[in-house]
A and B are shown apart, each in its own frame.
Chain A
Amino acid sequence: MSDQTHLTNFSGDKNALPVYIMLGNLPSGWRNSPTSMAVLLLALLLIPPKVLKSCKADQHLRQINADTLWDVFEHIFAPLQDPAHDGVPIDCAHGKVRSCFPILAMWIADHMENVALHGIKSNVCPRWEVPAVELGTNMKVYPVRDYAIYHHYDYENSIGETNQADMMPERLGIRLGQNVFYRLNQVWLPDLNKPDMLHTVYLELFKHMMDWIQGFLKKHGRLEAFDEVWKALPPYPGFLVPKKAYHEVMQWQGKEMRNLGRWSLGVLPVALCQPERAQLIPFKRALRCVRALGDFNMMAQYRSHTAETITYMEDYLDMFQKMKDIFLEFRVTKRKRVKIDQQ
C-alpha cells in the first residue's frame, strides 16, 4: 500500500511517499483498524521536486526520477523475490513453524499512485487496454494488460529490431520500463490494482455529479429551490446536516461526500417538482441518472454479496451510463467554453 501525503498543512511544500506493508490473510475488519498495529511502515520515500511538462531538460530529469523510483522499489521488493518461489519458514502464533510463500497480493492506492508505479499515463486504466476515447462506454471487451509483453517490446526496441512495436507505447498509454512491480515473482500485475471507493466514487464522481446537477438546475432555473431544500434537511442520527448550499462550500471531505451521496437524491426530486411540459423528460432522466449512481454506490458498500446483489449493481451502473448523457452539456470545462465562445 502506498499513498503520497503532505507532511505539513501550513509552511513549506513538504511531501512524502510512505510505503506500508500488511498481511493479507488477516480479517479485514481487524486489518483496517488503526489500533491493531496491522499496518507497518516499510519505507518512507522522498518526493522529487515537481517537473513541468514543457522543456526537454525537464524530460531528462523526469526520466531520472522514474529510474530512481524504479531502483528504490527494486530494493524494497528484493526480500520478497526468493521466498515467493521457494517458501520461507515462519513461526506461527500456535508455536509451530510453517513454510510460507509470501506474495504481493494487492496494492492499495489511489489512481495517481498506480499511474506512477505502473508507469502508465494518467488517463489509462491499469487493468485493461482501453483506448482513451472509450473510457466512458462501460464496455467489457478489452484485453487485459500483459506487462511482460510490454517489457518484451521494450527489449526488442532496445536491440534495434524495430517493428510495429515502436508504435505500441503511444497507443497503449504506457511508459516502458517503468513498472516497479514488473520483476516480482508469482504476481499477476493487473490484479494488484484494487477498486478505490474513496477516490473514485466519493471524491471524484460525486463531485462531478454535483457540478452537473448545479449546471442542470441553473439551466432550468431550479437552483434556488434546490439550495433551500438542501439547507432545510432535518437532522438525524448518523447523518450530517449541511449548513451551506453546495456551491458555497470550499472543500469537501471524503466523509462529507459519502453523506452527500445519500441526501442528494432526496433533495433533487423536491427541487424538480412540478415541471413544465418541455422539462418533463429531462427532469425524469436526470433523476434516474442520479438515482442510479446513488444506488450503485450503496450496493458497492455492501459487506457481503450474492449473485443477485452483483447483478443489481451492474444494472445500476448500466442505467447510470445510459442516462448520463442528459448531463453531457455540463461536462464542458471553463477553458473549452471560452474557446467555443470565441468561435
Chain B
Amino acid sequence: MRDAGREEETKLRMDLIFCESHFNFIKMHLLSHFSDHIRQFGNIPMYSTEFGELVHKSQIKAGWRQSNKNDASRQIVQSYSRQHGMRMRLLNLESLRRCGADLSPDLVAQFDTTSTTIAPDICRRMLKGRRDDVSNMADFSRVLGVSLQIICRGLIRYSRHNLQPERRPPEDPEILESLPLELLTQLEIPVLSFQEMEI
C-alpha cells in the first residue's frame, strides 16, 4: 500500500518537474542567429569578445595598478594614452628612417638598441651531401665561397658558448684549417656580407 503511494508520489513529482522546466533561456535563442549572421557578415571568430579581455589587461588593469587608487580612472586613461603615444611616435620615426629620412645620430643609435622590428633571418649556406674534393676546413671554405677567417671565428665563438671545455676544438686557426670535416657534422655559420650580396 505504502509502495503504491510512494510510486504515485514520484510520478507526480516527475510530472511537475517536466511541466515546470523549459529551455526558454536567452542563450538558447541566440544560437539561432549564428547561421544568418555568417551569411550576412562573415565568420564568427572575427567578432570574438575573447580578445577584449586581453585588452583589459594591458589598457585598464595595468593602469589601475600603476595609479595611486585616488581618482583612478583619470590616471588609467592617462597612463595608457602616454604609452600609446610613445609607441606610435617610435613606429613613425622608425618607418621614416626606413624611408631614408635624415635623423639625428643620437636617434639612430637609440633605435639600434631598442628597435621593435624583428631582425631579418640570417641566411645560412649549407654543404649538402659528401663531396670528394672537400676534406678539411680550407676546402670547405673554398667550395662555399666563404672566407676561412669568418668560419674560424664562428667556430671558436660557437665552441666557447656551447661546448664543454674538454670537447672544444683547438683555437689555433692553422690547426682548425686542417681538421677533417667529418668532425663537424652540423656547422652553420651566419654570413652577413654574403647575404646582402644574394639579395
Number of interface residues of B (CB under 8 A): 55
In the complex formed, the residue of B with least CB distance to A340 is B16
What total of A-B pairs shows CB separation below 8 Å? 177
Per-residue CB proximity of B55-92 to A under 8 Å, as 1/0? 11011110010000000110011001100100110000
Per-residue CB proximity of A195-236 to B under 8 Å, as 1/0? 111111100110010000000000000000000000000000
B96 shortest CB reach to chain A, Å:
13
Per the bound structure, the CA–CA distance linking A283 and B128 in Å amounts to 60
In the complex formed, the residue of A with least CB distance to B14 is A329
A7 contacts chain B at the CB level, 8 A cutoff: yes
Per the bound structure, the CA–CA distance linking A135 and B59 in Å amounts to 37
In the complex formed, the residue of A with least CB distance to B54 is A34
CB contact under 8 A between A136 and B29, given known A195-B34, A336-B20: yes
Stretch from B40-48, B100-108, B154-162, B181-189 forming part of the interface with A: B40-48
Question: A329–B28 contact, CB under 8 A?
Answer: no
Interface of A is mostly: mixed
B148 shortest CB reach to chain A, Å:
43
Question: A135–B44 contact, CB under 8 A?
Answer: no
A180 shortest CB reach to chain B, Å:
18
B38 contacts chain A at the CB level, 8 A cutoff: yes
Q: Which 10 A-B pairs have the closest CB atoms?
A: A136-B23, A331-B21, A28-B46, A194-B47, A135-B29, A135-B24, A204-B27, A136-B24, A136-B28, A34-B54
> Which residues does A use to contact B, with CB under 8 Å?
1, 3, 5, 7-8, 14, 16, 18, 20, 28, 32-34, 37, 39-41, 44, 46, 106, 108-111, 122-125, 127, 130, 132-140, 191, 194-201, 204-205, 208, 254, 296, 300-305, 310, 313-314, 317, 324, 328-329, 331-332, 336-337, 340-341, 343
